[in-house]
Amino acid sequence: MTQLFSFGLGVGTHNQKQEWLEVFYPAPVLNPSAELAAVAAKAAGYSEGNQAIALNAAQVSQLAADLASVDAEQAAIAKSFADSKQPLVATFLADDSAPNTTPEAYLKLHLLSHRLVKPHGVVLDGMFGVLPNVAWTNQGAIDLAELSERQLQARLSGELLDVDCVDKFPKMTNYVVPGGVRIAHTARVRLGAYIGEGTTIMHEGFVNFNAGTEGPGMIEGRISAGVVVGKGSDLGGGCSTMGTLSGGGNIVISVGEGCLLGANAGIGIPLGDRCTVEAGLYITAGTKVSVLADNGDVVEVVNARDLAGKSDLLFRRHSQTGAVQCRTNKSAIELNEELHKHN
């Protein structure tokens, strides 16, 4: 057997048509050892390509037995699966091509949130097409076509079916809580987010899939799909990083290390290291920016995209003229130690 890209044993939810709604992988594996791949392949009946193989009870006990001498963690998972009545799956990814099934897409989202790959580190093309839109409830994932019946059933047994959200992505923390993070409002971080150690996400913070933080950092603003925030950066309350999924350029936005996006600020260009954007200032790629010398004279006027990725810049909107200005950032921020030392 050739080297696999990824492998995961998962337990998930089917709708009444036996289609996958979601899959939970307790310990997804990136680049599994040849031995683990071979043993799992034999027990599950896998031969080649990217496949999600539904497991029956016999395959699960075979896996538990055969994996015991190869991989204690995976063996323990297989053993714990033995008594479950839930749909079980072994997902094998021979390569990192675009996901074709719901279990494949979920495995890739898990790789990101388990910090096994960085944002942009896996191919997610076409993922929206294989992720069903689901009602996420206190009774788990429910197919929207079956929701009203389940709501009625719950009411008739004197219960309330609580629908937290209706979305293609569940919240990350119901699948994994990576070490060393604080997340004040868990619904605001989607599965597929990469949250680096030492990151604090306050209530206004939001992190989309295939996006995240290197950590440590303080996130009180929105990290859109594809955006990565470097070490020691602070996203102030309600600030915005422009996404690339809709209606805009295709520049991938990023924030370097030691940056501060002020409250209600926004960026449509990538920032280098130690940059500050004044509270309330939204810089888009085409914003005309007056570049100031240390004595305050205007040196040149450029489009903000020309300053993309450059370090040690401070952007502000002059409060009297309204001109957007950029000068050397002399006071790069230091994260509040008090806030971070208890992560």
Ligand X SMILES: CC(C)(COP(=O)(O)OP(=O)(O)OC[C@H]1O[C@@H](n2cnc3c(N)ncnc32)[C@H](O)[C@@H]1OP(=O)(O)O)[C@@H](O)C(=O)NCCC(=O)NCCS
**Residue numbers of the site for ligand X (CB under 6 A)?**
220, 236-237, 260, 262-263, 276, 278-279, 316-319, 331
Residue 239 C-beta: closest distance to ligand X, Å: 8
Cα gap 121→304, rounded to integer Å: 28
CB nearer to ligand X: pick between 116 and 332? 332
Q: How far is the CB of 284 from ligand X (least distance, A)?
A: 18
The CA distance from 130 to 103, in Å, is 9
- Distance separating alpha carbons of residues 82 and 274, to the nearest angstrom: 52
> What is d(CA 112, CA 121) in angstroms, rounded to the nearest whole number?
8
Distance of closest approach, residue 94 Cβ to ligand X, in angstroms: 46
**Closer CB to ligand X, 70 or 279, in the complex:** 279
Q: Which helix (H) or strand (E) holds 88?
A: strand 88-93
Mention every residue, 6+ apart, whose C-beta is less than 8 A from residue 343.
Answer: 180, 181, 182, 197, 198, 199, 200, 216
In the complex, the smallest distance separating the C-beta of residue 282 from ligand X, rounded to whole angstroms, is: 13
What is the smallest separation between the CB atom of 341 and ligand X, expressed in angstroms? 19
The smaller minimum CB distance to ligand X, of residues 246 and 320, is found at 320
Q: Report the distance separating Cα 13 and Cα 109, nearest Å.
A: 16
The catalytic residues are: 220
Q: What's the order of all strands across the beta sheet hosting 233-235?
A: 182-183, 199-201, 217-219, 233-235, 260-261, 276-277, 313-317, 324-328, 288-292, 298-303
Closer residue to ligand X (CB): 40 or 265: 265
Neighbours of 56 (CB within 10 A): 11
Task: State the first-to-last Cα distance of the chain, in angstroms, to the nearest integer.
Answer: 42
| Residue with Cβ nearer ligand X (295 or 319) | 319
Residue facing ligand X at closest CB distance: 236
Alpha-carbon span 329 to 320, nearest angstrom: 20
